[in-house]
């Protein structure tokens, strides 16, 4: 059974590099977003998302990637490039429900 990840697994990795296996692009974890839920069923993982940043002119295609975070932890993640207002970087989102 796959490990169930939580926001707490990623908070210490903010600012760290995420390197996708077999890809030249590197992404940096910019934030871990945890929506406030007034009531959430006990025993269920609270949803959260990760926002990563990469270079603007070399966008990583949407898809599932095996990544190493901070040179220490390995994850299988579905990464989606998202609309980014900034002109100097591209943002990506990973959603956990």
> How do the domains of the chain map onto residue ranges?
7-35+45-96
pLDDT digits (tens, 9 = 90+) for 56-97: 999 999 999 999 998 889 999 999 999 999 999 999 999 998
CA gap 44, 13 in Å, rounded:
23
What's the CA gap between 24 and 3, in Å, rounded? Answer: 27
pLDDT, residue 39, reads 75
For the entire predicted model, the pTM comes to 0.89
Q: Give pLDDT, residue 3.
A: 67
- Given a contact cutoff of 8 angstroms between Cβ atoms, the answer to whether 52 and 30 are in contact is yes
Given a cut of 90, is residue 29 above it in pLDDT?
Answer: yes
Contact between residue 52 and residue 13 where contact means Cβ atoms under 8 Å apart:
no
Q: Exposed, middle or buried, 22 (CB in 10 Å: 0-12/13-18/19+)? A: exposed
For the residues 49-56, what does the mean pLDDT come to?
A: 97
Mean pLDDT of 36-55: 86
Q: For residue 20, what are the β-bridge partners?
A: 67
**Model confidence over 1-24: pLDDT tens digits?**
356 899 999 999 999 999 999 999
């Amino acid at each position: 059974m796959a490990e169930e990840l939580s926001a707490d697994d990623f908070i210490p990795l903010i600012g760290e590099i995420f390197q996708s296996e077999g890809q030249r692009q590197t992404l940096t974890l910019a934030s871990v977003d945890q929506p406030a839920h007034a009531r959430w069923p006990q025993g269920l993982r609270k949803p959260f998302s990760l926002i990563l940043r990469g270079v603007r002119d070399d966008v990583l295609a949407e898809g599932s990637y095996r990544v190493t975070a901070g040179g220490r932890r390995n994850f299988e993640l579905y990464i989606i490039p998202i609309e980014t207002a900034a002109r100097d970087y591209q943002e990506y989102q990973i959603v956990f429900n």
